[in-house]
Every structure is written in C-alpha cells, then in structure tokens.
C-alpha cells in the first residue's frame, strides 16, 4: 500500500467572480495543478470532484465529466457531495483509489460558484445541508444553527463572544499575506465585538464570507513520483471520516462534534500519529465557534479548553500549535465544494516551505486538515507528513 504523494496543487483567488463559471474556475485550478506537478494529463486515471450547490447556483448537475473535460482529462470522473465537506470526502476517495492500486495518478479538486445568486439565495441554498423537514422549514439557517451550538458551549463550558473575537482577529491576521484570500483586512477584538449581530452570540466577523473559487491537487504513488523524478515530499499518511445525526434536535449534545472525533481517531490511527505529533492544522472555521469544536475534536484541547486558545495566543502564528495559517474559512473564504482541497494544498505548502506563512512552522513534519459538512454531521480529517 502506497501513501499518496501530493505532486502539485493550485488554488484560485477566492472571492467574488460574477463573470466566471464554475467550470472556468476549476479549469484554472486543475490545469495549474497538473502543470505544477509536471504530469501529462494523459497519465491521470481518475478525477474526484467536490461540489455542493451546482444545481441551485448554476443549474448544473452531473459535474464530474464536465470538470474532467475542462482540464483535458478522459477519465472516470465522480462528483462528490457532502455539503461543506464535499472536497475533503473527494480527497478521501482519491486516497483510497491510489492505496488500493486502482490508479497511480488521480486528480482531486472542487469548486463552487455562490456570489452570482446573491446573499439571500446563497443562504437558502446552503441551508439544504440541514434537515429540510424539521429545521429548514422552521426557519433554521446555518448562522442560527451555529449560534445555538455556541450558546450550548457557553452554557456547558463557559466562554464569551470576546473569546470568539480573538479567533476572528487571529485568522484575519493570518490571511494578510495569503494572495488567495478573499479578505485581507486586519481587525481588532473591538471590531469583532461591535460588528452587527448575525445570530446572537455570533456577529458579522464570526462568520465566513460567501465565496467563489476552486482548488485542485494531483496525487500520485510514491513509485510513480520516483520514476518520473517528481518533487513530491508530502504524503497523505492518514485519512478518516465520521458522521452524526443530520438535525441538531436528534443529537444528545450541541457543544461537541463527535463526527470529527471519529474522523480524527481514524486518521491518527491510520497514520500512526497522535495529536501531540501535529505541528499545525487547517480546520473548518465556517463560524468562529466551529474552530473551537475542531481543535477539541482533534485532541489538541480537552472539552471546554479550546475556547481560550486564541485569546491565550496558543493558536496564533507565534503560538505552540498554529491553527488556520491560511486565514481559515473565516478570512481565506469558503467556496464550499473547494474548501477541503484548498486546506490540503495549504498544509502541503506549509510543510514544503512554499506557503507565505511557512516561517511560522519551520521544520514542521506533520500537518492536519479538518473539513466539516453542515453542523458537523459529516467530517473528514487528513494527516500529511513530510517523507524522506
């Protein structure tokens, strides 16, 4: 069994691209990833593509073969949908395909076009990742759902909106040098606290933006990389996936994310590492409280302790374990179907030293990507390591 090597990766500029289609965005990312890898498209044997709301935003389903065509591939192409974890799930399928010997070269990616339909329609489209019968029809939106989760966390463990503000400030600061980031703007704790309320206790700066964008990566076997003299020092050594009840009212908890617990446990076991071995992580912070859930599920903090991590400077770029050096979804942006692969690319670039924030994690050898769907009903975790 060969752990896949990341031979090349690419991320488009995240933000508003009203003039561009999803296939155009993915073509940019996919062709650049292939070029960076130095791989002939004819050597690719499969494409796994993450997308969540293509039917609603572009009236386009069956996007797998469409995106393969966009980057010049004549391969089996599969669209993967797991809400905001679509791309992370696509990565997992690509990893399994290489590990089981079905392919030596696999392209994995994702894209989402969201801003063209406006904020209200995008909010409605995203809401279908919740339980339509029992949540959406009652008026539930994801800001509201995560507000409920935040309130539950505060009630059970303590914490405040000011703690969440420190997470927003940190991730905005991390994004300042990320050329792909949608928001490159420094904010203060006071800015975050005083911003308009979206769903109490969450404010404007607690929420990620609506984003257009794409990401792609080329995965290969170790033997293929060696045979073709590819520069591919980073391997995906662990993969895990977990699930939970879709609707919040069907869960015995609102202040924990057991789907992420399961995914992390599986990924760590697969890689043969533990939380203490991880140097940094890119986690799914669609809302600031989601970063707290993530770092606790990943085993970096005990329950109730993650809320103070940013305030204490432990997850900043100068901290012991930096979190979301890209700026996270909060500032980098969140083109839903692309996010998991964008996280993968960021971790790879931080490990090989090519990311602008790599100086914050010098000599790092282990990074983690955590990608969640809905109110964390779906989660993937991937461990990446530098190989000799």
Identify how many contiguous H helices and E strands the chain contains and give both numbers.
13, 11
pLDDT at 62 over 80: yes
pLDDT at 2 over 90: no
Q: Is 306 helix (H, G, I), strand (E, B) or coil?
A: helix
Q: How far apart are CA 31 and CA 245, in angstroms?
A: 38
What are the angstrom distances between the C-alpha of 338 and each of 51, 85, 122, 253, 334? 7, 9, 16, 29, 8
User: Which pLDDT tens digit goes with each residue over 290-324?
Assistant: 999 999 999 999 999 999 999 999 999 999 999 99
Average pLDDT, whole number, for the chain?
Answer: 97
For the segment 226-246, the average pLDDT, to the nearest whole number, is 97
What are the angstrom distances between the C-alpha of 33 and each of 41, 254, 317? 10, 39, 27
Listed in sequence order, the DSSP H helices in 116-207 are: 118-127, 142-157, 161-175, 189-194
Residue 286 among the catalytic residues: no
- State phi, psi for 18 to the nearest 5 degrees: -65, -25
One fold for 5-117+211-235 and 140-209+240-386: yes
For the segment 99-107, the average pLDDT, to the nearest whole number, is 97
What are the angstrom distances between the C-alpha of 326 and each of 289, 344, 345, 360? 18, 11, 10, 11
User: Which pLDDT tens digit goes with each residue over 15-54?
Assistant: 999 999 999 999 999 999 999 999 999 999 999 999 999 9
User: Which pLDDT tens digit goes with each residue over 267-290?
Assistant: 999 999 999 999 999 999 999 999
pLDDT at 1 over 90: no
User: Which pLDDT tens digit goes with each residue over 357-381?
Assistant: 999 999 999 999 999 999 999 999 9
- Active-site residue identified among 161, 172, 174, 334: 334
The domain 5-117+211-235 having CATH identifier 3.40.50.150: the answer here is: no
CATH class of the domain at 140-209+240-386:
alpha beta
Residue 334 among the catalytic residues: yes
Query: What residues pair up with 46 in beta bridges, in sequence order?
Result: 106
Q: Is the dihedral of CA 265, 267, 268, 270 positive or negative?
A: positive
Q: Is 153 helix (H, G, I), strand (E, B) or coil?
A: helix
pLDDT at 191 over 80: yes
- State phi, psi for 356 to the nearest 5 degrees: -65, -20
CB neighbour list of residue 137: distance below 8 Å, 6 or more residues apart: none
Note the pLDDT of residue 388. 72
Note the pLDDT of residue 297. 98
Q: How far apart are CA 278 and CA 276, in angstroms?
A: 6
- Active-site residue identified among 84, 172, 284, 370: 84
The answer to whether the beta carbons of residues 309 and 379 sit under 8 Å apart is no
Give CA torsion, residues 71, 103, 373, 114, to 10 deg: 0
Strands in 258-365 per DSSP E: 280-282
Break the chain into its structural domains and give their ranges. 5-117+211-235, 140-209+240-386
Q: How far apart are CA 235 and CA 220, in angstroms?
A: 9
Q: Is 106 helix (H, G, I), strand (E, B) or coil?
A: strand
């Amino acid at each position: 069994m060969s752990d896949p090597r990341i031979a090349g990766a690419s991320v488009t500029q995240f933000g508003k691209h009203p003039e561009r289609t999803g296939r155009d965005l993915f073509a940019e990312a996919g062709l650049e990833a292939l070029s960076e890898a130095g791989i002939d498209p004819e050597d690719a044997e499969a494409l796994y593509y993450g997308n969540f709301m293509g039917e609603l935003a572009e009236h386009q389903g069956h996007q797998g073969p469409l995106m393969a065509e966009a980057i010049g591939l004549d391969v089996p192409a599969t669209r993967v949908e797991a809400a905001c974890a679509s791309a992370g799930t696509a990565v997992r399928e690509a990893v399994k395909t290489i590990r089981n010997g079905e392919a030596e070269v696999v392209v994995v990616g994702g894209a989402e076009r969201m801003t063209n339909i406006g904020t209200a329609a995008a909010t409605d489209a995203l809401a279908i990742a919740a339980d339509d019968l029992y949540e959406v029809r009652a008026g539930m939106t994801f800001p509201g759902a995560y507000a409920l989760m935040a309130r539950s966390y505060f009630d059970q463990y303590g914490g405040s909106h000011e703690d969440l503000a420190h997470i927003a400030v940190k991730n905005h600061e991390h994004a300042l040098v990320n050329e792909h980031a949608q928001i490159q703007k420094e904010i203060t704790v006071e800015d975050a606290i005083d911003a308009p309320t979206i769903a109490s206790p969450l404010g404007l700066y607690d929420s990620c933006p609506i984003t257009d964008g794409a990401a792609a990566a080329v995965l290969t076997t170790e033997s293929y990389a060696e045979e073709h003299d590819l520069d591919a020092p980073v391997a995906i050594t662990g993969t895990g996936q977990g699930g939970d009840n879709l609707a919040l009212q069907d869960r015995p908890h609102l202040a924990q994310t057991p789907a992420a617990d399961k995914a992390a446990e599986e990924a760590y076991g697969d890689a043969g590492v533990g939380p203490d071995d991880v140097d940094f992580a890119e986690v799914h912070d669609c809302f600031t409280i989601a970063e707290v859930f993530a770092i606790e599920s990943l085993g970096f903090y005990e329950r109730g302790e993650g809320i103070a991590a940013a305030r204490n400077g432990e997850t900043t770029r100068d901290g012991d374990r930096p979190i979301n050096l890209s700026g996270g979804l909060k500032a980098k942006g969140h083109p839903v179907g692309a996010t998991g692969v964008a996280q993968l690319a960021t971790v790879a670039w931080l490990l090989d030293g090519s990311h602008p924030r790599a100086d914050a994690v010098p000599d790092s050898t282990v990074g983690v990507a955590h990608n969640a769907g809905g109110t964390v009903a779906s989660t993937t975790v991937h461990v990446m390591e530098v190989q000799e």
